[in-house]
């Protein structure tokens, strides 16, 4: 069960001229919007309580932001997604919820909205929104649940652009792409893919082996590459921009927004909401990026943009060095949730489990008493919204104690007594 907050586009087929011109209008408008957002100057981030500095600058929404709880309380999407049995099932249900509650249309004038509470209130009255606004809503709803989500911007080789979301999965230990505009995520062999993995599949064989997963729960539908284009009538976007074999071309170029603190920094409309913007440097298949496809974008290698979150690194130290480590009866454990390529937003505490014991709160350093045989230590984090991270495990095998045999003197005396008994019987 999820926890509430603790209190205090490619060208369309020929012969459809009207639809084609409308799709081009969508692409051109998205391009203008993203360029305008990226060019806006920075702003004061004094209220951002969780600022990540390595491996890159990212402004995380603080768990103390009151509108996160207000968002859940008013719209109750947390109760809807609680039906999911796993973390990612719940994320897919949130994707489905946003898709069902926000209609799509070419609403460019509201594309800079940053307040999901206001967006959903208007959507409840029937107002439609474009991809940038829908991805904002998914991101803030996900953050309110304790997950880390961010906005991403994609660009086809032909120039059309689109906005979607990245979300960190503790279960899969990686970023996963979510597209609420079409209510899709992409899988291969049953595993949801990241933006980089989707791009590799597109460059390798135009996505011949991926599966397009629509919706979530009992109404989830799966489409293979052979079943494209996908035909649906539950949103206007399917008529404007169908998902066909060229759809993965959106992943030709990728940019990631370096913040999800829209409530704190720039609600309801903020001038600094598109800074910092990072562009993924990738040389596979299409040549080196000559420059950013958004003004002011900073080019980074994928390792910096798709770093780990919520991981605990466990270091073991024994007094006396390695020679005495095998004979030591205890080791010092050092936990670290903030490595060079790892960060834990809204960190609250470390949890450890030793052998078959219960999970317990601990500090970043403690001594681990070892027993003969296999010793198992598991560690993870919990953030301030009650979400636990992936488990890191360490094992130490200690030699079993040798059992001493009986004292030879007693064996000798035993033989003498046996001889006396036997002689008396004779």
Model confidence pLDDT, tens digit, residues 299-355: 888 888 999 999 999 999 876 555 555 567 899 999 999 998 999 999 999 999 999
Q: How many domains does the chain have?
A: 2
Residue 231, domain member (yes or no): yes
- Residue 150 makes CB contacts below 8 A (sequence gap 6+) with 58, 139, 165, 166, 167, 256, 257, 258, 259, 260
Same domain, 51 and 77: yes
* pLDDT of the residue at 421: 46
- Final residue belonging to a domain, choices 282, 306, 330: 306
Token output for 52:
């990540």
Most distant CA pair in the chain: distance in Å? 120
Report yes or no: 222 and 214 within 8 Å, Cβ to Cβ. Answer: yes
97 and 164 share a domain? yes
Q: Are residues 120 and 193 in the same domain?
A: yes
| 127 within a domain of the structure (yes/no) | yes
Encoded tokens for 194: 């990241």
Q: Judge if 276 and 254 occupy the same domain.
A: yes
Q: Is the pLDDT of residue 50 over 80?
A: yes
Structural domain contains residue 294: yes
Question: What is the mean predicted confidence (pLDDT) over 365-393?
Answer: 96
Q: Phi, psi (5° rounding) for residue 401?
A: -70, 135
Say whether both 263 and 333 belong to one domain: no
> 271 and 347 share a domain?
no
Q: How far apart are CA 214 and CA 129, in angstroms?
A: 20
Kindly state whether residues 87 and 197 are assigned to the same domain. Answer: yes
Using the 8-state DSSP alphabet, how is residue 179 labeled? B
Is the pLDDT assigned to residue 365 strictly greater than 60? yes
Angle at 188 between CA 183 and CA 192, to 5 degrees: 50
Sequential DSSP letters for 319-382? TT-HHHHTT-SEEEEEEES--TTEE-TTEEEEEEEETTS--EEE-SEEEEE--SEEEEEEEEEE
Question: Distances in Å between the alpha carbon of 35 and those of 9, 39, 48, 70, 98?
Answer: 16, 6, 25, 32, 25
What 3-state DSSP class applies to 317? strand
* 294 and 326 co-located in one domain: no
Both 366 and 246 in one domain: the answer is no
Tokens of 349: 């505490």
Task: Select from 308, 225, 213, 294 the least CA-distant residue to 253.
Answer: 294
Q: Which residue did the predictor score with more confidence, 188 or 114?
A: 188
Tell whether 414 is covered by a domain. no
Q: Indicate if 242 and 359 belong to the same structural domain.
A: no
pLDDT band at 7 (very low <50, low <70, confident <90, very high): very low
Question: Are 65 and 48 within 8 A, CB to CB?
Answer: no
Is residue 339 in some structural domain? yes
DSSP state of 296: T
At residue 419, the pLDDT reads: 54
Does some domain include residue 409? no
Token reading at 385:
């919204």
280 and 378 share one domain = no
What residue numbers bound the domain in which 343 lies? 313-398
CB 27 within 8 A of CB 228: no
Give the CATH number of the domain where residue 379 resides.
2.60.40.10
Question: Any long-range contacts for 399-407 (C-beta under 8 Å, 24+ apart)?
Answer: 399/326, 399/372, 400/372, 400/373, 401/372
Using alpha carbons only, what angle is made at residue 206 by residues 279 and 134, rounded to the nearest 5 degrees? 50
Mean pLDDT of all residues in 142-157: 96
- Does the structure show a pLDDT above 70 at 254? yes
At residue 329, the pLDDT reads: 86
- Give CA–CA dist 39/335, Å, rounded: 40
Q: For residue 405, how far is the Cα from the chain centroid?
A: 57
Q: Which of 306, 327, 349 lies at the terminal end of a domain, its last residue? A: 306
C-alpha count within 13 angstroms, C-beta hemisphere, residue 218: 1
Same domain, 153 and 92: yes
Percent of the chain with pLDDT over 70: 75
Mean pLDDT in residue range 42-59: 72
Q: Which residue is it, tokens 């920094």?
A: 265
Residue at which a domain ends, from 306, 335, 357 = 306
Q: Residue 163 domain-assigned?
A: yes
**CA end-to-end span of the chain, whole Å?**
81
Residue 418 forms part of a structural domain: no
Q: pLDDT for 66-113, tens place per residue?
A: 999 999 999 999 999 999 999 999 999 999 999 999 999 988 887 788
Q: Buried b vs exposed e over 104-143: b needs ≥16 C-beta within 10 Å?
A: bebbbebbbbbbbbebbebbeeebbbbbbbbbbbbbbbbb
């Amino acid at each position: 069960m999820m926890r509430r907050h603790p209190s205090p586009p490619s060208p369309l087929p020929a012969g459809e001229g009207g639809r084609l011109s409308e799709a081009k209008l969508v692409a051109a408008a998205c391009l203008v919007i993203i360029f305008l957002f990226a060019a806006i100057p920075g702003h004061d981030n004094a209220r951002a309580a969780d600022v990540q500095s390595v491996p890159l600058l990212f402004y995380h929404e603080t768990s103390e932001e009151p509108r996160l709880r207000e968002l859940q309380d008013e719209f109750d999407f947390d109760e809807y997604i609680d039906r999911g049995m796993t973390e990612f099932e719940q994320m897919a249900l949130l994707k489905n919820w946003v898709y069902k509650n926000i209609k799509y249309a070419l609403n460019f004038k509201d594309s800079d909205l940053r307040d999901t509470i206001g967006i959903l209130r208007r959507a409840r009255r029937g107002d439609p929104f474009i991809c940038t606004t829908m991805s904002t809503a998914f991101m803030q709803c996900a953050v309110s649940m304790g997950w880390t989500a961010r906005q991403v911007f994609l660009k086809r080789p032909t120039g059309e652009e689109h906005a979607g979301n990245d979300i960190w999965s503790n279960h899969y230990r990686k970023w996963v792409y979510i597209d609420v505009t079409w209510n899709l995520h992409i899988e291969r062999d049953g595993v949801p893919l990241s933006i980089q993995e989707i791009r590799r599949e597109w460059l390798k064989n135009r996505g011949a082996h991926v599966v397009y997963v629509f919706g979530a729960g009992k109404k989830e539908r799966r489409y293979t590459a052979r079943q494209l284009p996908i035909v649906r009538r539950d949103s206007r976007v399917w008529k404007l921009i169908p998902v066909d074999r060229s759809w993965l071309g959106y992943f030709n170029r990728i940019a990631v927004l370096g913040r999800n603190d829209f409530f704190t920094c720039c609600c309801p409309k903020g001038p600094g909401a598109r800074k910092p913007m990072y562009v993924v440097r990738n040389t596979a298949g299409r040549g080196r990026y000559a420059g950013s496809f958004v003004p002011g974008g900073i080019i980074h290698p994928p390792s910096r943009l798709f770093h780990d979150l919520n991981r605990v690194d466990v270091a073991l130290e024994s007094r006396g060095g390695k020679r005495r480590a095998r004979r030591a009866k205890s080791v010092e454990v050092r936990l670290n949730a903030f490595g060079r390529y790892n960060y834990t937003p809204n960190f609250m505490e470390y949890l450890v489990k030793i052998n078959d014991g219960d999970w317990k709160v601990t500090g970043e350093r403690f001594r681990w008493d070892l027993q003969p045989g296999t010793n198992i230590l598991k560690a993870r984090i919990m953030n301030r919204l009650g979400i636990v991270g992936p488990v890191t495990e360490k094992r130490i095998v200690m030699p079993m104690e040798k059992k001493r045999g009986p004292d030879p003197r007693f064996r000798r005396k035993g033989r003498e007594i046996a001889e006396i008994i036997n002689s008396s019987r004779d």
